[in-house]
A = this chain, B = another copy of it.
Amino acid sequence: PCTDFDKAYFQSYSHVGIHEEMIKDRVRTETYKTAILQHQSYIQGKVVVDVGCGTGILSIFCAQAGAKRVYAVDASEIALQANEVVKANNLSDTVIVLHGRVEDVQIDEEVDVIVSEWMGYMLLYESMLGSVIVARDRWLRPGGLILPSNAVLYMAPVTHPDRYAESIDFWRNVYGIDMSPIMPLAKQCAFEEPSVETISGENVLTWPHVVKHVDCYTITLQELESVTTNFKFQSMMRAPFHGFAFWFDVEFCGPAAENDAPSSESTKSNPRRKRANPSEALVLSTAPEDPPTHWQQTMIYFYDPIEVEQDQVIDGKVTLTQSKENARFMNIHLEYASGGRSFVKECVLR
């Protein structure tokens, strides 16, 4: 069912500014463009669905790559704009814009390729991957291609003394006045909920932990309802530990199960081998050490830092659950322990 929350969600994508921001994210858009060109042999003469097409840019890239037909699906009003863009580019014969949810629209043929930019903050926020799964299960032929093919959500402990100083320690001395009584409320206001911001590789205390590996070919809606993982980090330095950062990357590989696409110059190696060796695959990364994207990183800060020594262990468990209240929100339950103390933090990404 299309809930009021879904409607509000689709509405939020009717504003042009959000598309401008996404398109201007060159890391995102150019990686998709490259991925589509790299998989031209899978797309040429084939039928494509673009799930959540927005302004239609990925659909047009696919048309330019030689697709026979592209179904550009979006439930937001922006689909009307996509349709005008398609017409202006004389692509109406190739790109068919469908204004509706993938659950509701009709496509009367089998589809060879699904392309979608479905990733939200912390990868799973917005739950748009669910629509890709629905599209896959409704229309994708066996052995068809999904771009991106897989995704990984990471987490790592972070130190960020500047951020803490700026929002919390600030109140210790305000134009000579001791305003430290405001600090508890300042901690709550700044750190109660997750915060989307850009950190740098230098903030990260040690190697990241994989929270979830998503294979777009096999993942189920049920698997996405709740994701749990146990983590164990060992800090590579002595530092105040301020919270956890989450980020993701997605890979663009050929289909794993079969190798029925013609080989071409742009896809020299066997796709099966490609997936087995991710270092060859095209990756869109939102890691702190990589160039910034509009996704930035998602930070979950503690109210008070934990002083950790070099090699000190930080372990615990994190559970990400679709909110029952609004399936577009994400509940985060975090348990963590270090130096003999343990903590629990609950928050919601809205």
Return chain B residues, CB-CB under 8 Å to A89.
Answer: 177-178
Are A179 and B16 interface neighbours, CB within 8 A?
no
Residues in chain B near residue A17, CB distance under 8 A = 167, 189-190
Given contacts A57-B179, A81-B181, A81-B182, 6 further A-B contacts (CB under 8 A): A16-B182, A20-B170, A20-B186, A84-B181, A85-B179, A85-B182
A33 located at the interface, meaning its Cβ lies under 8 Å from any Cβ of chain B in the complex: yes
Cβ-defined contact, B85 with A181, below 8 A:
yes
Closest to A32 in B: B175
B182 with A60: CB separation less than 8 A: no
Chain A 183-213, CB-CB to B under 8 Å as 1, else 0, gives 0011011100000000000000000000000
The answer to whether B57 touches A174, judged by C-beta atoms less than 8 angstroms apart, is yes
Question: Do the beta carbons of A16 and B181 come within 8 Å of each other?
Answer: no
**A15 is an interface residue with CB less than 8 A from chain B:** yes
Tell whether, in the assembled complex, residue A178 and residue B88 are in contact, meaning their CB atoms are under 8 Å apart. yes
Task: Report A's interface with B, CB cutoff 8 A.
Answer: 15-17, 19-20, 23-24, 29-30, 33, 55, 57, 60-61, 81, 84-85, 87-89, 167, 170, 174-175, 177-182, 185-186, 188-190
Contacts of A81 in B (CB 8 A): 181-182, 185
A223 → chain B, closest Cβ, in Å? 34
Q: Judging by beta carbons under 8 Å apart, are A189 and B16 in contact?
A: yes
Mind listing 5 A-B residue pairs with CB under 8 Å?
A: A17-B189, A20-B167, A55-B179, A60-B177, A89-B177
The 7 closest A-B pairs by CB, nearest first: A84-B181, A16-B189, A16-B186, A88-B181, A81-B182, A85-B179, A15-B189
